[in-house]
Each structure stands twice: as structure tokens, then as C-alpha cells.
Amino acid sequence: MALPRRHAIQVVALVILLFFTAFFFVPMIWLFLAPTKTDGQLLTQSPFAFGSFHTLAQTFHRVVTYSGHSVLTWLKNSAIYSFGGTALAVVAAIPAGYGLALTQFIGRRLLLSITLVVMIMPATALVLPLFLEINKLGLYGTIWSLILPFGFFPFGVYLAYIYFSSTIPRDLLAAARIDGAGEWAVFRYIALPLARPIVSLVGFFAFVASWNNFFLPFVMTYDSSQYPLQVGLQQLIGSTASFNPANFSAGSSIVVLHRPDLAMAVIVAIAPVLIVFLFAQRALVSGMLAGATKE
Amino acid sequence: MTVPSAAAVPDGRASARRGNWAAGKREHPLAGSSRTAGYFFVAIYVALLALLGIAPVVYAIYLALSNSGGFGSSFVNAFNDYRFLPAFEHILEFMGLWLVSQTILVVGLTLMLHNLAQRVGAVFRFLFYIPGALAGAASVIVWLFMLDPSASPFAFVLHWFGYAQFNNTIAPGNLPAIFAIMAFWTGAGGWIVVMYGALNNIPHELLESAQIDGANAFKTALFIKLPLIRKWVVYMLVLSFAGGTQLFVEPTVLGSAALGVGVSKYWSPNQLAWFVASQYDNFNEAAAISVVLLVLGLAIAAVLVWRGRLFEAE
């Protein structure tokens, strides 16, 4: 009797897993197939049917040319904010992690504790206070209102701290000092070359966090020409006929988009992050678990 | 994005395993290094921390307290705002649904995956993890499509519930559940990866001896694996709770798909704070609401860091 029961449990487990696989993955498949169809085909054809490459090209063209190539402007803005923020995050976090892990100074432990608290606290809790402050400082509407907050990345500092305190042998640094190297030279010529993996990891996480951020640019930008793609996507919903029919009375001058166009825009918006997720998955997961398996 | 980065987690374990933050206090080769060098290395970060981490908090508290109506009147105004309590009720309802389902499903799915062959489990974990790439507005738009009965691949499910049109699905009473589904869809995969990693840290001999003692897979999961990953479950719950209070993107983006129904512009507390700031230029009340949210987030983070022992020595 034991064997059939065990089989029954395994079958139930498999059914549950397949159910959740559908839940997690069907939306992704649907998203990538939608731009190959026209809005009409989307309603009549199977959700998993492939339309045609011709339609895909047309959809892509409509999205790119929408409202004077707005999508390209947003893409450029996203790139400026994200790369700017990432560069600042890396430049600040890598030496800070090194300093916290391998040098001594008064207030080191306090700085570590504050870093941890800010890292765990949801970043969104700071958005409105940041808005109020940036407004007061007169930086509202400038690229600095986004690049500076994106560059403040306590999680990166923490990652770098963990990396430097666990992988760089202290004796190596001590030997360099005995040989007469100054503190900067020790960092620049010994620690930094060994830190390449953590530089790319911090850079990647900072980039994803900036690229995907919606709330901060939503409050910091007021004109379509400043939007990053995440905020631009929201404007596209307003131009999508089936989600906002009221906006499209007869003779309206607003450019009408359809569901496949919106899906295409989403794909453009997520492509950079998704590519890294797909091709660097192993590195990412091992990075996420960095140190966890090493005792 | 309101779901905390799953990536934040394993590093907690890393340091928990590695030992104490203050390890550097002992005398080691660094004792001879110059003391001022440390300040130099952390300088840029400390400047950013002061300008973008601490100053905004101090300024928000100052704004919240310096209303012309007198000390604390911004808080009184905020609490008396007829939209204040409903906003908190909304997110409480959302978090109730999300936290319970996320806890049960993430733990359940991880335990199931851990019983599969390594390679098969890896494929599932990867598929569950991929939606994590779609944070922010993108994932909300994907769910706009999924909730639209005329185009959704899940249309048959929506029809079971009697939803024939998009505005049936996004009826106000459904919103907490909808946001819970969105949050689960983007966040669960990352947590499953984390929990799976924690399960892999369980010594093989322990599981083997349980098996020899006659425990089946179900009993092993319940009595051995689950207690050993309990602190990760607590960690996930606390972080999700902190993130959930900040809900903003989902109701804002869903709200722009109006269709005559619309989602209120002050559905969540963060939305309300932004609404009073942007519509009425009432920065004092906005600051008061954001201070309430900040205190919630800070308190949770501080408890985790100083009392949770998760980041301290074993």
C-alpha cells in the first residue's frame, strides 16, 4: 500500500508545481507573443499563437515612432540616469566597503550599523522625503535629482564590505605596507585588482535597481522629455485605446496605441535587465549567495 | 518597487555565518595602518549617506513639525484626513493576503523543489525567478493584460469568477488581492532561490540520519527542514511587511488604466502623501505621512539589525 500512496503524493506535488510554473511563466510567454499579433488577432487567436514577423515589425515601428520618438527619448533618459547612478554607486561603494572591512577608524561600527538599517529599510520610504529635500535644494527637474539618489546604494557597500572582509587576506595588505606602500597604493594595486567580481556585482545590482525604479523618477520628473522608460510606460497606458477608451473620442488628435504596442514597449523597457537575468543567472545567484557557502 | 530585493537576504546569512561585525576590533596587521586612511575610503559614501539618507529624514521631520498651525499639527491634520485611515486599511488588507499566501507558497514550493532532482529543481527555480526581472511599471502592465478578460491567457479563470470585462476584474474590492498577486509574481521566485540556498546548507548527514530513522519526505520537510529555515521565513515576512507598507507603483500604474472605474489616487499611504504634496502643495502633511511610513520602515529595520541577531554572530 505504501508505494501507491507515495506515488499519489508525488503526482499531487507535480501538479502543484506545474500549476505554479504556468502562473509564473505564462504571462512571460504571452508578453513576448503579443507584439506579433494585431489587437484583433489578440482577441481571436489562441493566447499562445504566433502572429507574424511582419506584424511584429509594424508593432515595433509604431512604438518607436509614437509621439515623436518618445520611447527613444525615454530609453536615453533611462540610460543616463541608470548609468550615472551606477557609476556613482560603484565609485562610492567599493572604497567604502574596503574602508569598512580593512581599515580602522572611529565610528566604523556605527557606520556599519547605519548602513545595515538603511539597506533593510524599504528604499521607497525615502522617496517623498527626498522629493521634499531636492525641491528645497533647487535640484528638482535636473538629472541630479535621480543620479544622486541612485548613487546612494548601501546594499552595494554591504556587498563590498562582505567581499573585502572575507576574500582579501589581511597579511597580504600588511606585507605591502611593510614594503612601503601607502594606504592608497595598497587599495589601488592590491585590493582593487582582486575585487573585480564585486565591482561587477555591485554595478549590476545598482543598475537593475535604478533602471527598474518607478516611484523616484515618477515624483522627480514633470515633463515627458525627462521621463525614464518606467514612467513613460505609464503614459503609454493612457494612450492605449482598450485601457482608456474615454481618451479617444472621434477626431481626437492623441495617437492611439493598442495592446500589442504596449506589450512591445514593455519588452523594450525590460530587455536590458532581462538579458542579464537570462545570461548571467548563474553568476547572479552565486553572487546573491556569495559567502553563504564558504565558511 | 515595493518588494524588497531578494538579493538583500543571503548576505545577511553570509555575515551571520562569518561572525561579528566588530571582528576588526582585535589586534591584527591593520593595527599599524594609519587611522585617517579609513575616513578617506568611506568619504564619498558618507557624503551621500548624509545628503541622501539622513538629511531627507531630518528635513521631513522638520517639515512635519514646523507647520504654522503649531507643533504636531501636521500629524493631527494627517490623522484627521478622511483618506488617511482608508489608505492604511487598504494596505493592511493587501498585506494580510500577500504575506499569508507568500509565506505558505514560498515555503511549500521550496520544500517541494528540494525533493526533486537537483537539475529539475533548477529549471523550476529559474522559471519562477524570471518575473523578478520585471519590477516597477512593467510587471503591472503585464498584469493589466492578464486581468483583461478579452485578451488574457487566464481568461477562463476570470470567466469562472464572472468577470467579462476589464473593469469587472479591477473592481475596488478586488484590488488588495490583485496587488497581492502582482507582488507574489515578481517577488516569490527570488525568495524561493534564497530559501533553497538555505535548505542546501542543511548538513547532508542530518537528512540521512532522519531517513534511516524512518522519516519520509513529508516528515523530513516538516520536522527537520522547516525548523532549520524558520529564521529565513521570519526574515522574509518582516522585510515583506516593511516593503508592503510602502505600496505605490501598483495602484498608481493600475490607476492610469482608467476605463471609467479607476483606482483612487490615494489608495495607499504613499500615494496619499504624494497626492497632498503634488495637488495641494501641502508639504507639511505630506511630510507627516511620510514620517509615519519612515518610522514604520526604520523600526522594522532597526529591530532586525539590533534584536534579530540575523546579522550578528551565530
The number of domains in chain B is 1
Is A245–B259 a contact, with Cβ atoms under 8 angstroms apart?
yes
Residue B99: how many other CB atoms lie within 10 Å: 18
Residue B20 confidence (pLDDT):
42
| pLDDT greater than 60 at residue A57 | yes
Which positions ≥6 away from A248 have C-beta within 8 Å?
Answer: A241, A254, A256
* C-alpha to C-alpha distance for A139 and A130, rounded to whole angstroms: 11
Residue B160 confidence (pLDDT):
93
How many CA atoms does the CB half-sphere of B204 hold within 13 Å?
Answer: 0
Phi and psi angles of residue A257, each rounded to the nearest 5 degrees, phi first: -110, 165
| pLDDT greater than 60 at residue B25 | no
Is B257–A149 a contact, with Cβ atoms under 8 angstroms apart?
no
Q: What is the dihedral of CA A106, A108, A113, A115, to 10 degrees?
A: 130
| pLDDT greater than 60 at residue A126 | yes
B186, B243 Cβ separation under 8 angstroms: no
| pLDDT greater than 80 at residue B47 | yes
Is A154–B49 a contact, with Cβ atoms under 8 angstroms apart?
yes
Phi and psi angles of residue B162, each rounded to the nearest 5 degrees, phi first: 85, 20
B206-218 mean pLDDT = 82
Please tell me whether the interface predicted TM-score (ipTM) of this complex is above 0.95.
Answer: no
Residues of A in Cβ contact (< 8 Å) with B48: 88, 92, 148, 151-152
Is A170–B22 a contact, with Cβ atoms under 8 angstroms apart?
no
Residue with cell 551565530: B314
B46-56 mean pLDDT = 95
B155, B149 Cβ separation under 8 angstroms: yes
Is B245–A122 a contact, with Cβ atoms under 8 angstroms apart?
yes
B304, B310 Cβ separation under 8 angstroms: yes
Return the CATH number at B267. Answer: 1.10.3720.10
Closest B-chain CA to A136 = B59
Residues of A in Cβ contact (< 8 Å) with B4: 120, 122
| pLDDT greater than 80 at residue B261 | no
Residue B310 confidence (pLDDT):
55
| pLDDT greater than 70 at residue A293 | no
Helices (H), chain B: 10-18, 36-48, 55-65, 73-80, 84-115, 118-129, 137-146, 155-160, 166-169, 175-200, 204-212, 217-220, 226-228, 230-244, 249-255, 269-280, 283-302
B13 falls within a domain = yes
B236 falls within a domain = yes
Question: Left (φ > 0), alpha (ψ -120 to 50) or beta: where does A37 sit?
Answer: beta
Question: What residue spans define the domains of chain A?
Answer: 26-288
* C-alpha to C-alpha distance for B156 and A240, rounded to whole angstroms: 24
Residue B126 confidence (pLDDT):
87
Residue B7 confidence (pLDDT):
39
Reading the block at residue B176, the C-alpha cell is 488588495
Is B131–A237 a contact, with Cβ atoms under 8 angstroms apart?
no
B261 falls within a domain = yes
| pLDDT greater than 70 at residue B264 | yes
| pLDDT greater than 90 at residue A111 | yes
**A195 vs chain B: nearest CA distance in angstroms?**
15
Is B10–A270 a contact, with Cβ atoms under 8 angstroms apart?
no
- Name the percent of chain B lying above pLDDT 70: 85
Instruction: Give the domain extent around B284.
Output: 6-22+82-307
A198, A90 Cβ separation under 8 angstroms: no
Residue A281 confidence (pLDDT):
65
B243, A122 Cβ separation under 8 angstroms: yes
B6-24 mean pLDDT = 40
Reading the block at residue A80, the C-alpha cell is 543616463
Choice among A224-233, B235-244, B304-313 with the minimum mean pLDDT: B304-313
Which among A9, A115, A133 has the least Cβ separation from residue B55? A133
B105 falls within a domain = yes
The CATH superfamily assigned to A26-288 is MetI-like (1.10.3720.10)
Closest A-chain CA to B21 = A109
Helices (H), B83-151: 84-115, 118-129, 137-146
The pTM assigned to this predicted structure is 0.86
Q: Which residue has the higher pLDDT, B15 or B41?
A: B41
pLDDT per position as a tens digit, A69-79: 899 999 999 99
B60 falls within a domain = no
3-state SS, residue A49: coil
A287, A201 Cβ separation under 8 angstroms: yes
pLDDT per position as a tens digit, B143-201: 999 998 988 999 999 999 999 888 888 888 899 999 999 999 999 998 898 888 888 87
B102 falls within a domain = yes
Residue B259 confidence (pLDDT):
63
**B75 vs chain A: nearest CA distance in angstroms?**
15
The mean of the pLDDT values for chain B is: 82
Residue A167 confidence (pLDDT):
83
* C-alpha to C-alpha distance for B281 and B285, rounded to whole angstroms: 9
